[in-house]
Amino acid sequence: MGEQLEFFSLPNPCRGVCQSDARSYCRGCLRSRDERFLWGGMSDSQKREVLRLCYQRYLRLRRAPASRHELLPDTPEQPSLF
């Protein structure tokens, strides 16, 4: 199946926080180490999949008890990715 043409490239979701949590996900954008390092070489469909996974991680953190919100800062330093 061919890749759908995009008029605009997907922007890098980096929020400039660049710190890893205990599970090795970035505290700012919720990407794994590999997802961060390989972002520039990914196709748009791969980038969309990474963004989908990040959104699932975000939702999982929102549902977790308050004591487990280690990735979500109390006061966001930058606007939310979602």
Could you count the other beta carbons within 10 Å of the beta carbon of residue 48?
Answer: 14
Mean pLDDT in residue range 58-75:
69
Q: pLDDT tens digits, residue range 4-40?
A: 665 778 889 999 988 998 899 999 999 999 999 999 9
Neighbours of 57 (CB within 10 A): 18
Would the pLDDT of 70 be above 80? no
Q: What is the pLDDT of residue 67?
A: 54
Residue 6 lies in a domain: no
Q: Give me the number of domains the chain comprises.
A: 1
Please report, rounded to a whole number, the percentage of residues in the chain having pLDDT higher than 90: 51
Residue 81 lies in a domain: no
- What b/e readout covers 13-42, taking b as 16+ CB neighbours within 10 angstroms? bebeeeeeeeeebbbbbbbbeebbeebeee
Q: What is the value of pTM for the model shown?
A: 0.70
The whole domain housing 32 covers: 15-65
